[in-house]
């Protein structure tokens, strides 16, 4: 097995996917986003199965990962559309918390660089709802952080999908040669 073989690259992308999924899972737990927590958990299991299948030469596990990746891509496109308010979806809906709680993205209250502690009191009195104001001085608003998470997952998934297809084809070629 060479240093840059398809198996090594698939192991690398699965490991990268596992790390980014665990990071995403942690922030979804902080925001009590139950639907993403469940989907991320399934994704973590599927990536671990792919790693096992790649290391142990078990093409069925890698094929399972390929099928799951199609669902994972659809999930990330859905979440991106939700946070960008596309297709009749709204980031203010309680779809991701499954209607169980009124919690939302952890990033909404904790975006990097946001400074909403010193809002002038007169500004609050003029407005109907404080929710109408986006946080002052944010480097990046929370919905774009969530979309960036999805984009990273999509890029890694596409690369993992490509290498998984290659690995499955090499595994089946090796089986037919024996």
Task: Answer whether residue 93 is part of any domain.
Answer: no
Task: Answer whether residue 171 is part of any domain.
Answer: yes
Task: Answer whether residue 129 is part of any domain.
Answer: no
Task: Answer whether residue 32 is part of any domain.
Answer: yes
Which two structure tokens, joined as six digits, stand for 118? 């010193």
Which comes out higher in pLDDT, residue 150 or 125? 150
Number of structural domains found in the chain: 1
Give the domain extent around 41. Answer: 1-85+143-177
Task: Answer whether residue 44 is part of any domain.
Answer: yes
Evaluate if residue 41 carries a pLDDT over 90.
Answer: yes
Nearest Cα neighbor of 72 from 143, 11, 152, 8 is: 152
Task: Answer whether residue 6 is part of any domain.
Answer: yes
CA atoms within 13 A on the CB side of 76: 22
Task: Answer whether residue 76 is part of any domain.
Answer: yes
pLDDT at 150: 94
Confidence band of 112 (pLDDT split at 50, 70, 90): confident
pLDDT at 28: 85
Task: Answer whether residue 102 is part of any domain.
Answer: no
Q: What is the DSSP letter of 130?
A: G
pTM of the entire predicted model: 0.80
pLDDT, one tens digit per residue, over 87-101 is 887 777 777 767 666
Task: Find out whether 14 and 54 touch, Cβ atoms under 8 Å.
Answer: yes
pLDDT at 128: 52
pLDDT at 132: 44
Evaluate if residue 134 carries a pLDDT over 70.
Answer: no
For residues 6-32, give the mean pLDDT.
91
CA dist 133 and 94 (Å) reads: 20
């Amino acid at each position: 097995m060479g240093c840059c073989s398809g198996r090594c690259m698939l192991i690398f992308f699965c490991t990268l996917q596992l790390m980014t999924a665990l990071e995403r899972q942690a922030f979804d737990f902080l925001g009590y986003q139950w639907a993403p927590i469940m989907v991320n958990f399934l994704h973590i299991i599927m990536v671990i199965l792919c790693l096992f299948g790649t290391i142990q030469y078990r093409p069925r596990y890698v094929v399972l990962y390929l099928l799951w990746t199609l669902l994972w891509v659809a999930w990330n496109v859905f979440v991106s559309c939700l946070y960008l308010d596309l297709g009749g979806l709204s980031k203010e809906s309680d779809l991701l918390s499954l209607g169980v709680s009124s919690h939302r993205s952890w990033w909404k209250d904790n975006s990097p660089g946001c400074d909403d502690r010193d809002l002038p009191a007169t500004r609050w009195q003029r407005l109907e709802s404080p929710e109408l104001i986006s946080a002052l001085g944010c480097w990046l608003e929370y919905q774009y952080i969530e979309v960036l998470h999805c984009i990273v997952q999509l890029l890694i998934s596409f690369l993992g999908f490509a290498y998984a297809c290659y690995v499955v084809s090499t595994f089946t070629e090796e089986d037919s040669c024996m």
